[in-house]
């Protein structure tokens, strides 16, 4: 029996697994992936992948190759907003012009939004954007601001929307304030995030499988 080829992007909070033969994408929590006793992935990327795959690919390299496969342009910028980091690449003439990877300040913001939504029982799929924001230096400082805002009488929904707006401002500045930006990762499904991004630049969501696309052997 022929072995199924599995590619995976194992992030800090979510894992995306592609069965190449059936072209089916499975998205599970990384907590579940760690607990499952699956055989190692054939090729994988992401913080949680290194000891769980036959061949590991650097996240930024996967993002770069995935972006070039999916975007039919020579000059563009892409950002991947993850659970604990933000990766950015600007292409010029089809070549990498600038890369950056925010690992410290500004980090863990994605995971923090999930924690806050769970704690306040907020449905992120229907949360609207707001014009005001709070400063989100990092996940911990941002969460402290949300807790303070709710304590002061603001609704949890508005406080979390302000957190998301603050995070969007960080992303916009981190990506050097582009007029158009391709977005990769779980925030492609977050209406509040997308609406907040549109206040600053045209944002084109590419979905959660951009890094997986970059793992495919051409």
Partner 1 sequence: MKNLKSKKLIGYYGFPRRSTLRSARERFGRDLEFVDLDVALGAPDSRVIQTTTCRITANIVDNAIELSRNIVAIVADVGEGKCDRGRYAAFLLREAGFNVIESRFPPEEFEDRSLVYSTSEGSLAERVDRIMGTVIHPSSSVDQTRACSPTHGFWGVPPHDFRILDIFPPTTHIYGWTRCVEAGNPGDLEMECYVDKNVPTVFFTQSFCAKQDLAHHLAEKHDGLFVDCHRNVNNSILSKVEAFIKLS
Q: How far is the CB of 97 from partner 1 (least distance, A)?
A: 6
Contact in structure between 50 and 203 (CB atoms under 8 Å): no
Q: How far is the CB of 207 from partner 1 (least distance, A)?
A: 22
Our CB check for partner 1 shows the closer of 61 and 204 to be: 61
Our CB check for partner 1 shows the closer of 184 and 196 to be: 184
Q: Strands, DSSP E only, in 65-144?
A: 76-81, 86-92, 95-102
Our CB check for partner 1 shows the closer of 4 and 98 to be: 98
Q: How far is the CB of 29 from partner 1 (least distance, A)?
A: 20
Alpha-carbon separation of residue 62 from 29, 80, 152, 212 (angstroms): 20, 11, 44, 7
Contact in structure between 193 and 168 (CB atoms under 8 Å): yes
Q: How far is the CB of 180 from partner 1 (least distance, A)?
A: 19
Listed in sequence order, the residues at least 6 apart from 38 whose beta carbon sits closer than 8 Å to its beta carbon are none
Binding site for partner 1 (CB under 8 A): 47, 50, 58-61, 64, 85, 89, 96-101, 103-104, 176
Look at residues 79, 87, 193 and name the one whose alpha carbon lies nearest to residue 136. 193
Spatial separation of the C-alpha atoms in residues 218 and 196, rounded to whole Å: 36
Q: How far is the CB of 118 from partner 1 (least distance, A)?
A: 25
Count of residues making up the chain: 218
Our CB check for partner 1 shows the closer of 96 and 115 to be: 96
Burial class (CB in 10 A: 0-12, 13-18, 19+), 136: buried
Our CB check for partner 1 shows the closer of 31 and 97 to be: 97
Contact in structure between 161 and 194 (CB atoms under 8 Å): no
Our CB check for partner 1 shows the closer of 135 and 176 to be: 176
Q: How far is the CB of 63 from partner 1 (least distance, A)?
A: 9
């Amino acid at each position: 029996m022929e072995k199924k080829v599995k590619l995976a992007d194992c992030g800090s909070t979510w894992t995306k697994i592609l069965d190449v033969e059936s072209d089916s994408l499975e998205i599970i929590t990384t907590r579940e992936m760690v607990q499952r006793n699956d055989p190692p992935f054939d090729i994988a990327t992401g913080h949680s992948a290194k000891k769980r795959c036959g061949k590991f690919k650097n996240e930024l390299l996967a993002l770069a190759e995935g972006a070039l496969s999916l975007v039919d342009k020579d000059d563009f910028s892409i950002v991947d907003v993850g659970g604990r980091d933000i990766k950015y690449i600007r292409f010029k003439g089809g070549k990498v012009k600038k890369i950056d990877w925010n690992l410290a300040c500004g980090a863990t913001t994605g995971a923090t939004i999930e924690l806050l939504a769970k704690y306040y029982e907020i449905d992120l799929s229907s949360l609207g954007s707001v014009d005001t924001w709070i400063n989100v230096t990092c996940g911990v400082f941002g969460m402290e601001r949300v807790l303070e805002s709710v304590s002061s009488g603001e609704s949890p929904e508005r406080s979390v929307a302000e957190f998301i707006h603050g995070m969007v401002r960080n992303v916009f500045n981190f990506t050097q304030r582009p007029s158009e930006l391709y977005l990769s990762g779980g925030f492609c499904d977050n209406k509040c995030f997308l609406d907040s991004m549109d206040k600053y630049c045209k944002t084109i969501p590419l979905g959660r499988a951009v890094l997986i696309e970059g793992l495919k052997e051409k």
